[in-house]
Amino acid sequence: MSKKNIVSIIVPDYNGENTIQRCIESILNQSITKFDLYIINDGSSDNTDNIIKKYLNIPNVHIISQDNQGVSKARNVALELVNTKYVTFVDSDDYVDCNYLKNLISGIEKYKVDLVIEGFKKISNEKVYFRWNQGVYSSRKLMEILLNENGPQGYLWNKLFKVNIIKENNLKFDQNIHMAEDLLFCIKYVSKINNGVVLNNCDYNYVYTENSLSNTASILNKNNNYKEAYKNYLMALDKIKENIPQKYIKCYKDINARICKVDIDFMRAMKLNDVSLNKSFYKVIKKDAKRKQLFLYISSIVKAKSKIYSLLSLWFPNIIKKIDTVRFRKMNG
């Protein structure tokens, strides 16, 4: 690892044989060259290992292989090794434009802040640009932005962090949770800084394959354990609450709105998959959602369309199930 390099990029990968090469090549094609690239192979069982081995002899590329221990462990392993001034993250199924690093570094140094957040492009059937109001924001406002469904949220990959802040505060990814671990890390980081800047650049390409509900449903199908998945999500949101200063009242309300929406998303997924063995658990989730529905109703962090659909799901679940069933049949051809 060269001390001359100013920024590190961390790319965790698990079974990404179809996308990892595109991801790596986009990073190596950056307009600046003073960076370290850490690729962590998290126990892939496909051809990933053979693909990334081709980059072994490139001086600033560091390949780490480990047994499958999850994305949080992979990121933590890389963070221990990073000795540059800044660090950013890229997911192995995404890719970046050639000025990604240049614009992030320019932003953090020009505005003299502790965090940079960029816009991004969502790549699916069409290319959609996501941008927000450019400017410097306080820690409190950054938390509100990260919790907002209409904002950049808790993604790691469109942000630049200062390594000294991470290491001085012993910030790590929580290996005990498997949902919203990236948002939790971002909230922890923001709680330790004074300000950050939001830029209008869209140099990150987020390859989008499924919407939020189908992601939730697929997680539940994979785990076949609704209670465990739900418990994991709430654990993450509770830990996020713990890292928000009590004086940030709006952020607390926003978290409750988010929990309500999670409740309803799980209800929809359970209905969609005809889960009949968890009726008592379904009632528990529904009861919690009804207690928190006011937070969702008044919240500014959830898109209006999503808010209406969620509240309809709470009160008319069978009707929404029919709509979801038709929608997912169309999505799956």
Residues 307 and 296: beta-carbon distance below 8 Å: yes
Does the pTM surpass 0.85? The reply is yes
DSSP notation for 32-98: ---EEEEEEEES--SSHHHHHGGGTTSTTEEEEEE-S--HHHHHHHHHHH--SSEEEE--TT-EE-T
Residues 299 and 307: beta-carbon distance below 8 Å: yes
- pLDDT mean for each 10 residues of the chain (333 residues): 80 95 98 96 95 94 94 96 97 96 98 96 86 92 88 88 98 91 95 96 87 44 67 88 87 88 87 73 90 89 86 89 79 60
Query: How far apart (Å, rounded) are the C-alpha atoms in residues 39 and 13?
Result: 7
Q: Where are the beta strands (DSSP E) in the chain?
A: 7-13, 35-42, 61-66, 86-89, 95-96, 115-117, 120-123, 127-130, 135-138, 159-162, 195-198, 204-207
CB atoms closer than 10 angstroms to residue 245: 12
**Bridge partners of 94?**
none
Residue 280: Cβ-neighbour burial (10 angstroms; 0-12, 13-18, 19+): exposed
Query: How far apart (Å, rounded) are the C-alpha atoms in residues 251 and 147?
Result: 8
Query: How far apart (Å, rounded) are the C-alpha atoms in residues 175 and 6?
Result: 28
Comparing C-alpha atoms, which of 60, 40, 38 is closest to residue 48? 40
Comparing C-alpha atoms, which of 171, 7, 35, 156 is closest to residue 90? 156
Q: Please provide the CATH number assigned to the domain covering 7-207.
A: 3.90.550.10
Query: How far apart (Å, rounded) are the C-alpha atoms in residues 327 and 112?
Result: 47
DSSP label of 321:
H
Q: What backbone phi and psi angles, to 5 degrees, belong to 127? A: -95, 120
Domain ranges within the chain, ordered by starting residue: 7-207, 212-331
The pLDDT score that the predictor gives to residue 217 is 46
The pLDDT score that the predictor gives to residue 33 is 93
Query: How far apart (Å, rounded) are the C-alpha atoms in residues 41 and 257?
Result: 36
